[in-house]
Structures are given as C-alpha cells and as structure tokens.
Amino acid sequence: MRRKIIVALIIIICYLLQTTVFPSLAFASITPNLMIVAVSSFGFMRGRKEGLWIGFFCGLLLDIFNGSILGFYALLYMYIGYTNGMFRKLFYPEDIKLPILLISASDLSVNLLVYFFMFLFRNRYNFEYYFLHLMVPELVYTMIITVILYTLLLKINRKLEVSEKRSASKFV
Amino acid sequence: MRRKAKFSIPVRYILLVMTGICIIAMLLGFTLNISGGPLNEVAGYVFIPMQRGINTVGLWMSDKSDNLKKLSEVMEENEELQRKVDELTSELNTIKLEQYELENLRQLFDLDQKYPSYDKVAANVIGKDGGNWFHNFTIDKGSEDGIEVDMNVIAGSGLVGIVTSVGPNYAKVSSIINDNRKVSGMVTTTSDNMTVSGSLLSMNENMVIDFTGLNDREEKVAVGDPVVTSYISDQYQQGILIGYISSLTKDANNLTMSGTITPAVDFEHIHEVLVILNKKQSTQN
C-alpha cells in the first residue's frame, strides 16, 4: 500500500514537472520525457507486472491531458513498462550502463512509434528530419535528466524494499 | 503453519486484457468521439489545482525577479501597449474585413450579416503537452465556466487554436500549429480562400505554418497580406487573424498558390488566452 502511494506520487510529480516546469527550461523547444524514465526504471527494477501497471497509468495520464485519442499512449507506455520488466534479471543496482541503455531505448522507441502512427500515416515522410531534430535532442536531454532522476528513483526503491522486508519479517 | 494460497493472474494475461481495453478505448474514441468522460473529471480535480499552484508559484517567482531588476513598471507598460497593439490590430482587421464586405454588400444589397462581438472568457495556460510532437496545452477554465468543445481560442489579436476536450475545471486546447490541424483561411485583401495546415517541420525550422490551395487568378495576393479565418470554416469563427503571408509560390498545376504564413501569435510564450464562447455552429442556428 505504501509503495503504491509513493509510486503514484512519483508519477504525479514527474507529470507535473514535465508539463509545467520543463517547458520553460526547454532547449530549442525540446523537453525531456520524465514519464518514460519513471516507467522504464520501475520496469527493470520491479519486473513486468509493475512495469505494466505503471506504464499504463502514466500513459493514461498523458492521454487524458495531452493525447488526441484515449488509450494510445496508455497502450504504448504499458508495453514499454512490460518490456523493461523482462530485463529485471539482468539488473544490478550498482551498474548504471543497463538502465541508461534501457531508458534511452525506451525513449527512442516511444518516439519512433509515435512518428510511425501519428506522422507517417499522414504522409509525413521526412523521417530524417524528425529523427535528427526531435528524437535525438529529446533522447540527449532525457539522458541528462536520467542521471539525476534515476539515482533518485533507485534510492526510493531501495528504501521501500528495505522497509517491506522488515515488515514482512515481523509478521513471520 | 498453513499459508493462504495467494491467487494471482499471470502477467501475460493482464497484458492481454489491458491491451484489449486500450484498443477498445481507442476504437470508441474514433467512432463515438468519447474522450475520457468521468476520467476527465477525476483527473481534472486531482491535477489541475496542482498545475495551477505550480503556475502561480512560477509566475510569482518571475514577478519577484522582475522586481529585483526594477523592470516591472516598464514591463507593465509594455504589456499594456502590446495589448493596445493587439486590440488595434484586431480592430483594424475587422474594419478591413467590414470594408471589404461593405463593398460586397453594395453590390449585393440584401445581405446584412454583421460581425458579432463575441463573448470571451480569459484563461491561463497551466500545462503544456508532455511530448515534443504536438502543441497542445491545458487551460484553467472548463465546463464550469461555460467552455465547450470546438470553441475558438485566441491570444492577443491572433488565433491560437480550438478546444478539443473539456473537464469541469480545465480544457484541452489544440493549437493551429499542430501537425494534424487544418484551418480554412482567407486573405483579407482579395478574400480568396485557402487551407492553412500546421506543420511541425516548418514551425521548428522557420516558425511558420503552411498553406495550400490559394486560388488567386489575378495574382493580387502579396507577401505580408493578413490571413484570417474564412467564412466557410465550420469550426472557426469568421475573421480571426491567423497570421501574415511570408512566402508564396505557384503550384505545379499553375492554378493555385501555396506558401507559408507567419502566425500572429507567439506560440512559445502563451500565458493567457481568450476563449470565444460563441461557437460557429451555434451562431448559425
């Protein structure tokens, strides 16, 4: 229960930062994608199931306030969370290479899919432009934010896991 | 010690079920134009106050920093003047249109349509789009303030966009520079119609939006001519300034022209917008 509340808070804070604070800190009108950092991190830290749910709710939030069609981002982020969850066995908290790799892959694939479904289907064929001027800058900016946000999320997760273990051992 | 067997559904099935739910939601959205419903309301009550709060803090902080720089008075004055410029531009625009119409009326005699003065509601922009692909934003007025879907949103003297979904205390606005948005426009000097379509590429590169299908046989339209929303648009009120023509080329068919328009609104820095409470359809009825 405690974990759920804290995770919900993290999602809300990420969403609020992404929609209110970061647009005014944008470089060349590109804002980083904090939601994907949260979804991806919880995916590989906690496994497929939690990744799936967190992805779904993050996506739903984006759908309600930003998307044009309800369910699109929810579906996208849900699969991102689920796929990241598959890498849980490879994940070690000390190693930062895998998280960076996974988060950047997630960010890129979300953007590629958005391009594919929302732009390519409307005859916007100039992929190279969108890739170089939108996806790559967002990726770089998200990476910079990841270094800060991910370490924070890792610490929160560790504290939660410790307190969960403690309360579990009490009952046994 | 007996442990209670915990029943849990395999993740794969959850994924399958949730995928189904999402796809059904999307299909419903496409076919019935349902967007959220009760979800909108709940989310609105949770997130909008927070966004509003952050926004107020942000504005307060920027105000303080302005005070430190002792620029506030100048800025206020500038704002006032800007507002006056906007007002005058839109007035001028209406007058130009009215003049043009007057000429038409003299020819036609029995047309007595006038530009109604629209009721407007001022709103603050409290949240931008989460991604970088589209230019949507949220404003802090909703159905409780009389805002409905398809109402036009303006800032200063220019058209910003259109309300695409409404919650009790917020509304989602899709701006005209959005890649998937089209507006029916008209050049005020010749009253020729065209299709103005937002484009992410041209907006990022040159801060312009594209237009196509301008039927200007006498080739009177020139760079710098103002473009307003057209009378044939079924979504946008007539005569709202979109922007000024910045480039113009003849199409391959030798009949129509296409080119780019510099929008009248600075889309990077919109903080306050006005929502026109008259809808195009309801004015017609």
Would you say residue B111 has pLDDT above 50? no
Cβ count near B45 (within 10 Å): 13
Cβ contact B58–A20 (<8 Å): yes
SS3 at position B228:
strand
Tell me the mean pLDDT in the region B196-223: 86
DSSP assigned state of B4: P
Strand partners, B161: B153, B175
Give me the pLDDT at residue B108, please: 53
Q: For chain B, where are the alpha helices, taking DSSP H only?
A: 11-32, 38-68, 72-108, 200-206, 280-284
Given the DSSP bridges, would you call strands B158-166 and B182-187 parallel, antiparallel or unpaired? unpaired
Task: Choose among B213, B230, B227, B215: nearest CA to B261.
Answer: B227
Give me the pLDDT at residue B112, please: 38
Residues in Cβ contact with B13 at an 8 Å cutoff, skipping those fewer than 6 apart: none
Number of H helices, E strands in chain B: 5, 12
The Cα–Cα gap between B131 and B123 comes to 22
Rg, chain A, Cα only: 17
Task: Choose among B248, B72, B44: nearest CA to B147.
Answer: B44
Give me the pLDDT at residue B113, please: 41
Give me the pLDDT at residue A84, please: 92
Rg, chain B, Cα only: 23
**CB-nearest partner of A19 from B39, B127, B133:** B127
Give me the pLDDT at residue B191, please: 83
Q: Which residues of A touch B206 (CB under 8 A)?
A: none
Cβ contact A64–B126 (<8 Å): no
Cβ contact B54–A20 (<8 Å): yes
pLDDT in tens, B44-55: 887 888 888 887
Give me the pLDDT at residue A171, please: 64
DSSP assigned state of A130: H
Give me the pLDDT at residue B116, please: 54
Residue B223's Cβ-side half-sphere holds a number of Cα atoms within 13 Å equal to 8
Give me the pLDDT at residue A55, please: 93
Give me the pLDDT at residue B1, please: 46
- Degrees (nearest 5) of the Cα angle B170, A4, A111? 60
* pLDDT tens sequence for chain A (172 residues): 788 899 999 998 888 888 888 777 777 778 888 999 999 999 999 889 999 999 999 998 888 887 778 888 999 999 999 999 999 888 888 888 889 999 999 999 999 998 888 888 888 888 888 888 888 988 998 998 898 898 899 999 888 888 888 887 776 5
Strand partners, B258: B249
Residue B83 token pair: 């507002």
Best residue of A70, A112, A113, A135 to probe chain B, by most B CBs closer than 10 Å: A70
Lowest mean pLDDT among A143-157, B61-75, B243-257: B61-75
Element (H, E) at B118: none
DSSP assigned state of A30: B
**CB-nearest partner of B26 from A64, A66, A70:** A70
Would you say residue B210 has pLDDT above 70? yes
Instruction: Give yes or no for a contact between B284 and B236, defined as CB atoms under 8 angstroms apart.
Output: no
Instruction: Give yes or no for a contact between B278 and B126, defined as CB atoms under 8 angstroms apart.
Output: no
For chain B, percent of residues with pLDDT exceeding 70: 88
Lowest mean pLDDT among A168-172, B91-95, B115-119: B115-119
Tell me the mean pLDDT in the region B95-123: 67
* Residue A16 CA to its chain's centroid (Å): 14
Residue A91 token pair: 């994940």
Instruction: Give yes or no for a contact between B24 and A69, defined as CB atoms under 8 angstroms apart.
Output: no
Give me the pLDDT at residue A107, please: 92
Would you say residue B115 has pLDDT above 70? no
In sequence order, what DSSP letters do the residues of B41-109 get, joined into one string?
HHHHHHHHHHHHHHHHHHHHHHHHHHHHTT-HHHHHHHHHHHHHHHHHHHHHHHHHHHHHHHHHHHHH-
The Cα–Cα gap between A40 and A33 comes to 11
The Cα–Cα gap between A66 and B126 comes to 12
* Residue labelled with tokens 């109402």: B151
Residue A44 token pair: 């590989």
pLDDT in tens, B125-148: 888 887 788 888 889 888 888 898
Would you say residue B260 has pLDDT above 50? yes
Give me the pLDDT at residue A40, please: 93
Would you say residue B78 has pLDDT above 50? yes
Nearest chain B alpha carbon to A47: B11
Best residue of B132, B136, B137, B162 to probe chain A, by most A CBs closer than 10 Å: B132
Lowest mean pLDDT among B14-18, B61-65, B174-178, B232-236: B61-65
* Residue A154 CA to its chain's centroid (Å): 14
Give me the pLDDT at residue B114, please: 39
Give me the pLDDT at residue A56, please: 93
Cβ count near A125 (within 10 Å): 10
Band (pLDDT 50/70/90 cuts) for residue B66 is: low
First-to-final CA distance of chain A:
19
pTM: 0.76
Task: Choose among B180, B194, B197: nearest CA to B225.
Answer: B194
Would you say residue B226 has pLDDT above 60? yes
Number of H helices, E strands in chain A: 7, 0
SS3 at position B165:
strand
